[in-house]
Amino acid sequence: MEPLEALVSGHAETRPEKSETPKLPCAAKRSVGRPRRLTLDAIVDAACAVGIDRLEMCFVAERLNTGVATLYGYVRGRDHLLELVAERMATRALADTYGGTWQEVLRGHAALCFEMFKSKPEMIGNLIGGEKSDQEVAYAVNIMTMLENRGLSREDAADLYVETNQAVIGAAVMLVRRNILANAGVDQDGNAISLPPGLGDYRPTLDRIVRDYEERVK
């Protein structure tokens, strides 16, 4: 099961304006035969099933047995679809029917947030200067409640949530810096810049956070 896949619920259908289809790193194949009737809800369902880490328009189209161009009649692109997945998770009722472990909940939350920051780096700055929205608060409460439902104390759930957020935000900032340094090409001495492979990757830190907590509660 994909992390947090079972958190998603229905979403009202809306149709944003169409936009030109950009070049994609993959090509969705459409099977011969009558395609299923699409709705925005079905597209978001398919995106959740594909998973945050693999979320590309071509994979969603392939799962729906349709063409990528058809999806652009419902969503503006990958970033818009990612926002819809995040909104669905954030507005989910606190009733918890997800069968995953607390580790999966935490990793799913981290993957979603990191993908959002990677797609929209300006969101990192918004965290500093902006106020928390009701949606953000509801999402945070939902994740922490899910952790509590899996045996964590309220204090531990809050600590893990905060530590995970710090790891994700820090990695997102370093990912931006990595891209800047990589584009620079050489350092001030004219030597090619060699960047650490883990720069901009939150997962090693998250693994340590999870491992430390598991050791603490043994």
Domain final residue pick, 92, 112, 134: 92
8 Å CB contact between 150 and 210: no
pLDDT in tens, 82-115: 878 777 665 554 445 556 899 988 998 898 888 8
Region of residue 151 (phi > 0: left; psi between -120 and 50: alpha; otherwise: beta): left
- Partners of 192 in beta bridges: 186
Q: For residue 191, name the pLDDT band (cuts at 50, 70, 90).
A: low
Q: For residue 155, name the pLDDT band (cuts at 50, 70, 90).
A: very high
Please, which residues have CB within 8 angstroms of residue 176's CB and are 6 or more apart in sequence?
A: 121, 124, 200
Q: What was the pLDDT predicted at 26?
A: 65
> Do both 105 and 211 map to the same domain?
yes
Task: Tell me the average pLDDT of the chain.
Answer: 75
Cα–Cα distance, 195 to 208 (Å, whole number): 22
Domain final residue pick, 44, 71, 92: 92
> Do both 45 and 73 map to the same domain?
yes
Q: What CA dihedral angle connects 172, 178, 184 and 187, to 10 degrees? A: 140
CATH number at residue 158: 1.10.357.10
For the chain, the maximum distance between any two Cα atoms, rounded to a whole number of angstroms, is 62
Q: Number of folded domains in the chain?
A: 2
What DSSP string describes 95-141?
A: -------HHHHHHHHHHHHHHHHHH-THHHHHHHHSPPPHHHHHHHH
> Do both 73 and 172 map to the same domain?
no
Question: What is the three-class DSSP state of 72?
Answer: coil
> Phi and psi for 186 in degrees, rounded to 5?
-135, 160
> Do both 78 and 172 map to the same domain?
no
> Do both 202 and 170 map to the same domain?
yes
Q: Which domain holds residue 31?
A: 1-92
Q: What was the pLDDT predicted at 54?
A: 78
> Do both 176 and 130 map to the same domain?
yes
> Do both 156 and 173 map to the same domain?
yes
CATH number at residue 83: 1.10.10.60
> Do both 86 and 136 map to the same domain?
no
Which two structure tokens, joined as six digits, stand for 200? 């901009």
Domain final residue pick, 92, 120, 142: 92
- Partners of 186 in beta bridges: 192
> Do both 200 and 106 map to the same domain?
yes
Percent of the chain with pLDDT over 70: 64
- Which pTM does this prediction carry? 0.62
More confident residue, 200 or 74: 74
